[in-house]
Amino acid sequence: MTTSFVFHRSVQKWRRGPQRVGLLEGSRNNHPGQGTACRRFFFENVYIELLWVSDANETQCELTLRTRLWERWSKRKSGASPFGVVLRAGDTPGADCPFASWAYHPSYLPPNLSIDIAEGTPLQEPEFLYLGFQRGRAREGTEPTSHRLPLTKVTGVVVSAPTSGDRSTAARALETMGLLRFAIADEHLISLTFDSGAAHKTADLRPDVPMLLHW
């Protein structure tokens, strides 16, 4: 499976963190009918997506409301996790959604395609999503992946949160699969380790984005 990480951030802040440490922006995207827009940064096996609400009415419409995009956006300063973890089938033979989910049919996708969103996850955890219709590496060969920082392939992911409560079934499933680990911290934070951390270096994107990059 391949992965992307979504951060619910304001459009005013997206530039400072990633560009300050030398990440090269890829293509931008809008989600008609969902009321969101995003900026993206691509690597060999993941991409980082900074997402914000661009149309509050669309984000709160009946079609979109169950996604909790509006809840995460409006409560991002009062405890809601700002993260989403999006899994793709990639080149994994027989890959299937690894958690119980419901099918979201956004208006910007063809009617026969859907996004699986995990059931039973609290707002204090990331949102977990699965795109079973996407095979191969996301946008392979069409996006810039050479950054000023020598970051190639993500080899470790740690999601930290200020809560000691039991994790959801979906979160435990992903941890068991070795796709990420969870930790307790004073704030919501995600740490991505590239290339096994061989260079023993770190870039801190805070306060613009709650993220650490290790390589």
pLDDT score recorded for residue 8? 58
Entry field: residues in the chain: 215
Pairing relationship of beta strands 211-214 and 202-204 according to DSSP bridges:
antiparallel
pLDDT at 7: 63
pLDDT of residue 163: 80
Which among 14, 59, 74 is positioned nearest to 40, based on CA atoms? Answer: 14
What pLDDT, on a 0 to 100 scale, did the predictor assign at position 157? 96
pLDDT at 19: 78
As a whole number of angstroms, the distance between CA 214 and CA 184 comes to: 19
- Which CATH topology does 2-214 take? 2,3-Dihydroxybiphenyl 1,2-Dioxygenase; domain 1 (3.10.180)
> What is the token pair recorded at 73?
């956006």
Residue written as token pair 């190639």: 152
CA pair distance 137, 158, nearest whole angstrom: 22
Per-residue pLDDT of the chain (215 residues), as tens digits, is 455 666 655 555 555 678 789 999 999 999 999 999 999 999 999 999 999 999 999 999 999 999 999 999 999 889 999 999 999 877 766 678 999 999 999 999 999 999 999 999 999 999 999 998 887 666 667 899 999 999 999 999 999 999 867 899 999 999 999 999 999 999 999 999 999 999 999 999 998 889 999 99
Domain boundaries, the chain: 2-214
